[in-house]
């Protein structure tokens, strides 16, 4: 154990003190922030403004109804949770609407030219034929502004529905009651105080991606560390004071501790980020529970140990970075498979696919953790998954240690499968 601790300490300190660790620790969160938050902030500031809209309708009443409905988009949200001065997403764009009753071809051509020359921002063409066929054209330069256009589409549809119902003799109160939206709230049978399922989804998905990237990145680091020491002949010196099994265990523990350190720093930065806390503290309440954090650590450590053990064996077998790249795909395949089926598992966490993928040891780290986060399975499934992972880890450690024992001293020859079998038998 002393040798394992010494090797793990060396691997940990060597990587934590490196510039690459500092760069990756702060660069990855910065990149994630830049990719996710910055475009939204820029978009929210640059988008919107005032737009001049013309409603062209044959009937004045139809035009007035459409105008009133579009102008409701300028109103602030009645949500009491919105702080003073904060604008609703619906008020990102403010509309100035005028109505004209000339719907001739010449009028349409003239309005289209005004839109092209930027005198107008858009024209809602609601002729009698368009209204009766429920196919209203919106002439605009911003045809790709799907969010604003979708909002206008809902407003136009709402106005025409109101007009149709009013024509059938319904009162305004009846129309409001008929068109009032219905909120369908998902309620878990396990309790009323369950967190928002959308927040649970994105939280689980984010933690799964952190686990996936960290396991893959630092698993490959174990392989490169073994390969570097093998090619530099440092192994021959180290084997004089420690066994091959101690060396492999020390490297896995040391590099794994680096990964945990990085994840801890990211979590601390996210937890102390004022903007994040202001916007997400209420949403994440009840989601990041002690249970979820505990199982994240359990499956992260078991998953990292599984893949790092295989990576260490590959690093001991090969003689160059090119050979390692050819074999590392076989190790990464189960992780890629886990991500591929993750979407299905997130939608149906109780399906047969989710069950078997959460039991299979090489996909269990990601899939079982996802099931626990979304819809915690019965205890025996979790216990079976962890037990199979531990047994698989013990078996892989036994096999990979024998490969490691011989492979670290083999130079200049690419090993074949029969030779690897011999290493396992005679090591």
What pLDDT was estimated at residue 188?
62
What pLDDT was estimated at residue 19?
79
The Cα-based distances of 377 to 272, 354, 369, 380, 383 in angstroms read: 32, 10, 10, 8, 10
CA 225 – CA 228 distance, rounded (Å)? 5
What pLDDT was estimated at residue 272?
55
What pLDDT was estimated at residue 44?
55
CA 33 – CA 17 distance, rounded (Å)? 25
Q: Name the pairing type of β-strands 122-126 and 49-57.
A: parallel
Tens of pLDDT, residue by residue over 94-109, are: 888 999 999 899 999 9
What pLDDT was estimated at residue 276?
46
Residue ranges, the chain, pLDDT below 50: 76-91, 192, 274-283
What pLDDT was estimated at residue 270?
63
The answer to pTM > 0.95 is: no
What pLDDT was estimated at residue 123?
92
CB 95 within 8 Å of CB 120:
no
What pLDDT was estimated at residue 114?
92
Tens of pLDDT, residue by residue over 132-146, are: 888 899 999 888 777
What pLDDT was estimated at residue 73?
84
Where do the domains of the chain lie, and which CATH numbers do they carry? 50-78+88-179 (3.40.190), 197-426 (no CATH)
Closest CA to 233 of 51, 44, 412: 412
CA 249 – CA 8 distance, rounded (Å)? 8
CA 305 – CA 311 distance, rounded (Å)? 10
| Beta pairing partners, 123 | 54, 139
CB 310 within 8 Å of CB 169:
no
Closest CA to 63 of 99, 93, 108, 97: 99
Tens of pLDDT, residue by residue over 18-43, are: 877 777 777 777 776 666 666 666 65
């Amino acid at each position: 154990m002393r040798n394992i601790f010494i090797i793990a300490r060396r691997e940990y300190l060597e990587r934590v003190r490196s510039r690459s660790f500092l760069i990756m620790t702060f660069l990855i969160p910065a990149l994630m922030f830049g990719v996710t938050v910055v475009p939204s902030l820029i978009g929210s500031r640059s988008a919107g403004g005032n737009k001049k809209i013309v409603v062209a309708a044959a009937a004045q009443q139809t035009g007035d109804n459409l105008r009133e409905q579009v102008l409701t988009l300028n109103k602030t949200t009645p949500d009491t949770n919105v702080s003073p001065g904060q604008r609703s997403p619906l008020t990102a764009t403010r509309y100035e609407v005028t109505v004209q009753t000339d719907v001739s071809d010449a009028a349409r051509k003239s309005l289209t030219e005004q839109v092209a020359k930027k005198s107008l921002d858009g024209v809602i063409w609601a002729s009698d034929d368009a209204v009766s066929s429920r196919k209203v054209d919106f002439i605009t330069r911003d045809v790709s502004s799907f969010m604003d256009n979708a909002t206008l589409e809902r407003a136009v549809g709402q106005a025409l529905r109101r007009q149709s119902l009013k024509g059938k003799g319904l009162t305004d109160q009846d129309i409001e009651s008929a068109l009032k939206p219905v909120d369908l709230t998902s309620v878990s049978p396990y309790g009323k105080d369950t967190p928002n399922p959308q927040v649970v989804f994105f939280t689980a998905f984010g933690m799964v991606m952190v686990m996936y990237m960290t396991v893959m990145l630092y698993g490959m680091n174990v392989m490169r560390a073994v390969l570097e020491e093998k090619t530099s002949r440092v192994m021959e010196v180290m084997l004089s004071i420690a066994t091959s099994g101690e060396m492999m265990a020390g490297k896995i523990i040391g590099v794994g501790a680096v990964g945990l350190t990085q994840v801890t720093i990211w979590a601390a930065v996210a937890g102390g980020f004022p903007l994040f806390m202001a916007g997400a503290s209420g949403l994440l309440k009840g989601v990041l529970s002690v249970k979820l954090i505990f199982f994240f650590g359990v499956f992260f450590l078991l998953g990292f140990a599984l893949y790092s053990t295989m990576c260490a064996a590959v690093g001991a077998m090969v003689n160059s970075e090119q050979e390692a790249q050819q074999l590392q795909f076989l190790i990464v395949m189960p992780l890629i498979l886990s991500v591929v089926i993750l979407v299905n598992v997130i939608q149906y966490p109780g399906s047969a696919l989710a069950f078997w993928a959460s039991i299979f040891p090489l996909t269990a780290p990601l899939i079982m953790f996802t099931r626990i986060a979304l819809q915690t399975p019965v205890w025996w499934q979790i216990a079976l998954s962890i037990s199979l992972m531990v047994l698989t880890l013990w078996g892989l450690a036994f096999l990979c240690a024998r490969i490691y024992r011989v492979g670290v001293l083999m130079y200049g020859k690419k090993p074949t499968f029969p030779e690897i079998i011999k290493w396992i038998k005679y090591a």
